[in-house]
Chain A
Amino acid sequence: MLKIRGLKKKFKNFQALNGLDMEIEEGALYGFVGPNGAGKTTAIRIITGLLLPDEGTVEIGGKDALRYREEVKDDFGYVPDEFGMYDNLKVWEYMEFFASCYGYSGLVARERCTELLKQVKLDDRADAFVDSLSRGMKQRLCLARALIHDPKLLVLDEPTSGMDPRTRMEFKELLKELCAEGKTILVSSHILSELSQMCTDIGIIDAGKIVLSGNMTEILQKVNDSNPLLIKVYEHREAAIKMLRQDPAVKTIAIREDDIAVRFHGGHEAEADLLRKLVTAGIPVSGFIREQGDLESIFMQITNHDKGKVVLTSEE
């Protein structure tokens, strides 16, 4: 759906994008993550035609978005970090105004607006003035506005910043719904936990280029595999440690309160085999689990310019 190759952009002495490559499959909910100043907004502004790159290509739905800027406007909807509201318009007027900006008018526009307002649960506020809406409502209205021309790709720049947890949760559900309907969604954020909960794919940008990208489950699996096994034994801890030391797949052993943290290089089968050995040796195992990896740790590793990258590369 979206293909970016070798995108470069320099602002005076600052290299905002430095050969950004990115690809988003149709129907994906892609989390675009990076620290402040990594180049997320610059990339998004180029994708949406608000900025031209110094080098590189952007394709939306197979069309060159830099050359056919006007044509691709039908293919994407944009939700910026600032909502962009006309406070003196009513909710339905705001929607109809943007519908007319895409050439929709009359009954077609009205029906589309009603449908979208219903989808974002603002149909009961259609006659309210925009300035009377809460921040969460404004964000939902902004999302409905971006969907007015039924685009295939939705681009959202930090959409949940400044929202309370409940509104954030509702918004995430809305995005998941849209994704299930077949929309491709690119959502940038620096709040990693919320992206890990909803995205199907993720791209981590740092210093103007993607440093890690792929399917979320695979990435988390990769992180999980590099995490230690936490083994809890009811008694005979020393015997258990002695036995673990003899296993060639065990690299390091550490004691963490009641747990034995084992850096174990092996798949699920090897894990099961280790557990079986312990139980057969008469060691009462009360807990045996892989420590869950999270996106925060990957992000911290990758965007920590010295050691982070090395750790991840060696794991890969």
Chain B
Amino acid sequence: MKNNPVYKRERMVRARSFRIPLIIFAFNGILALAALLNMYQTVAQVRLSSTIQYGSFLQLYAFVATLEFLLLMFIMPALTSGSISGERERQTLELLFTTKMSPKDIILGKLFSAVEQLLVLVVSSLPVVLLTFVYGSVDFMDLCLLLVCFVTVAFFTGGIGILFSALIRKSTFSNVCTYGVLLLIVVGTYMLNIFMLNMNELQINNMIMQFGETRPVADTGFAVYLLLLNPVATFAEILGNQVSGGAGSLSISSFFGSDINGFLARYWIPISLLVQMAVSVMMIGGAVYALNPVKNEKK
């Protein structure tokens, strides 16, 4: 990738801009202030009551993780959805096609530079996240899993953005479509599952009233599989396992009904991460196909 001209150009232009250092400074500054205040409060509490609330550090961890996750999920599409259509609007895309650059090189150059841009932000904030290590309860493997989730969501949302950017000529419309689809995946799958759960509960209650059967646990049926595509569901499961409360309240366990100990429920996190990665690869492949200037024509 380091030899990809598009990737190198994006990096060079970004490195010249004052925006990224400023964002990193502001982001980490806020996080550091929150962490220091948190630590001060904990120490003050120890002085006063001789008790220490380790939970506050976990809350800080959950806060930083959630902030970074949201940042990745909502900024990645903005960075990628205009990347190819922007080249098209500048009339530079056709010039690239006449060079030795392949559509794959162009797509990967754009995507990786965007992913790198946000991962720099994530990595730069690691010291604040790692403050939790001072008091324990979150270990190194937990942190690794969180980073895998971040990389996955970066490629997943970036993949949606770059696919629409390759498909749609105008950046504005591409942006709208990207966020529309992301919203559909994030909110739509949750809403569908809640709807299916309620319907199933109604059906069960009806059956109990009619036939007096023993009450089975309601589930959402096939709709739960759609949640495999939802990065928020995955993140909520990861955080829910590491820190109780917070994003964990978005847990999907209630959607499984009696199948709570089934294979999918037990291995939800790795399966969903794999599914999202696979879908990301498909979207990137789709973008490469869409970008080929002579794809739909036959000689």
B299–A97 contact, CB under 8 A? no
A49–B100 contact, CB under 8 A? no
Cross-interface CB contact of B9 among A48, A73, A97, A105, cutoff 8 Å? A97
Cross-interface CB contact of A50 among B9, B13, B98, B298, cutoff 8 Å? B98
Number of A-B residue pairs at CB separation under 8 A: 71
Cross-interface CB contact of A89 among B9, B91, B97, B99, cutoff 8 Å? B9
Given contacts A51-B294, A93-B12, contact A101 B92 (CB under 8 A): no
A49–B293 contact, CB under 8 A? yes
Given contacts A97-B5, A97-B9, contact A84 B299 (CB under 8 A): no
Q: Report the bound CA distance from A89 to B15 in whole Å.
A: 12
Chain B residues, Cβ within 8 Å of A69 = 294
Chain B residues, Cβ within 8 Å of A73 = 98-100
Judged by a CB distance under 8 angstroms, whether B191 is at the interface is no
Judged by a CB distance under 8 angstroms, whether A68 is at the interface is no
Cross-interface CB contact of B297 among A51, A78, A93, A103, cutoff 8 Å? A51
A50–B99 contact, CB under 8 A? no
Judged by a CB distance under 8 angstroms, whether B213 is at the interface is no
A86–B92 contact, CB under 8 A? yes
Judged by a CB distance under 8 angstroms, whether B47 is at the interface is no
Judged by a CB distance under 8 angstroms, whether A53 is at the interface is yes
Judged by a CB distance under 8 angstroms, whether A293 is at the interface is no
Given contacts A52-B294, A66-B299, A100-B8, contact A82 B91 (CB under 8 A): yes
Chain B residues, Cβ within 8 Å of A101 = 5, 96, 99-101
Cross-interface CB contact of B92 among A49, A67, A70, A84, cutoff 8 Å? A84
Chain B residues, Cβ within 8 Å of A48 = 98
CB distance from B155 to the nearest CB of A (A): 25
Judged by a CB distance under 8 angstroms, whether A288 is at the interface is no
Q: Is the interface of B mostly helix, strand, loop or mixed?
A: loop
Interface string of A11-54 (1 = CB under 8 A from B): 00000000000000000000000000000000000001111110
Q: Report the bound CA distance from A45 to B101 in whole Å.
A: 17
B293–A85 contact, CB under 8 A? no
Chain A residues, Cβ within 8 Å of B16 = 88
Interface bin, chain B:
20 to 34
Judged by a CB distance under 8 angstroms, whether A80 is at the interface is yes
Judged by a CB distance under 8 angstroms, whether B95 is at the interface is yes
A70–B100 contact, CB under 8 A? yes
Judged by a CB distance under 8 angstroms, whether B139 is at the interface is no
Interface string of A48-64 (1 = CB under 8 A from B): 11111100000000000
Q: Report the bound CA distance from A100 to B3 in whole Å.
A: 9
Cross-interface CB contact of B97 among A50, A82, A86, cutoff 8 Å? A50
Interface centre among B8, B13, B95 (most CB of A within 10 A): B95
A49–B98 contact, CB under 8 A? yes
B94–A52 contact, CB under 8 A? no
Q: Report the bound CA distance from A83 to B98 in whole Å.
A: 14
Given contacts A49-B98, A101-B101, contact A85 B92 (CB under 8 A): yes
Chain A residues, Cβ within 8 Å of B91 = 80, 82-84
Task: Mark out the residues of chain B between 127 and 163 whose CB falls within 8 Å of any chain A CB in the assembled complex.
Answer: none
B100–A102 contact, CB under 8 A? yes
B100–A78 contact, CB under 8 A? no
B90–A84 contact, CB under 8 A? yes
A51–B293 contact, CB under 8 A? yes
A86–B9 contact, CB under 8 A? yes
B8–A84 contact, CB under 8 A? no
CB distance from B200 to the nearest CB of A (A): 50
CB distance from B101 to the nearest CB of A (A): 5
Q: Report the bound CA distance from A69 to B99 in whole Å.
A: 11
Chain A residues, Cβ within 8 Å of B94 = 50, 80, 84
CB distance from A185 to the nearest CB of B (A): 16
Closest Cβ neighbor of A46 among chain B residues: B294
B9–A52 contact, CB under 8 A? no
A78–B299 contact, CB under 8 A? no
Q: Report the bound CA distance from A97 to B9 in whole Å.
A: 7
Q: Report the bound CA distance from A83 to B94 in whole Å.
A: 11
Chain B residues, Cβ within 8 Å of A49 = 97-98, 293-294
Interface string of A279-302 (1 = CB under 8 A from B): 000000000000000000000000
Task: Mark out the residues of chain B between 70 and 120 whose CB falls within 8 Å of any chain A CB in the assembled complex.
Answer: 90-92, 94-101
Q: Report the bound CA distance from A147 to B111 in whole Å.
A: 29
CB distance from A45 to the nearest CB of B (A): 8
7 interchain pairs (CB within 8 A)?
Answer: A52-B299, A74-B100, A82-B91, A85-B92, A86-B13, A101-B96, A101-B101
- The 4 A-B residue pairs whose C-beta atoms are closest, nearest first, are A101-B99, A100-B5, A52-B297, A82-B91
- Given A51-B294, A76-B98, A78-B95, 6 additional A-B pairs, CB 8 A: A52-B299, A67-B299, A74-B100, A84-B91, A84-B95, A85-B90
Q: A residues bordering B, Cβ < 8 Å?
A: 48-53, 66-67, 69-70, 73-74, 76-78, 80, 82-86, 88-89, 93, 97-98, 100-103, 105, 145
